């Protein structure tokens, strides 16, 4: 799981992202969560690809 923080003038928003692949050039899934400074969930997304690379999953 990767962890980034975007600092705004008043608040900061942790962005959590992760990706996985069953094999190189196989099924890939990615997800992203954005939380506020208190840890409350703001928005999340996911993506599934039936045929992609493990490098793409981690980007």
Beta-sheet strands, E only, within 1-59: 2-7, 12-21, 26-35, 41-52
* Percent above pLDDT 90 for the chain: 2
pLDDT in tens, 32-51: 888 887 888 889 988 888 87
- Domains of the chain listed by start with CATH number: 2-58 (3.30.420.10)
Question: In this prediction, what percent of the chain has a pLDDT beyond 70?
Answer: 76
- The predicted structure's pLDDT at residue 40: 86
pLDDT digits (tens, 9 = 90+) for 27-37: 888 888 888 87
CA distance 24 to 55: 8
């Amino acid at each position: 799981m990767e962890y980034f923080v975007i600092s705004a003038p008043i608040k900061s928003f942790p962005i959590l992202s992760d990706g996985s692949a069953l094999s190189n050039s196989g099924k890939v899934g990615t997800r992203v969560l954005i939380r506020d400074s208190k840890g409350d969930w703001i928005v999340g997304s996911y993506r599934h690809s039936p045929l992609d690379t493990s490098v793409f999953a981690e980007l």
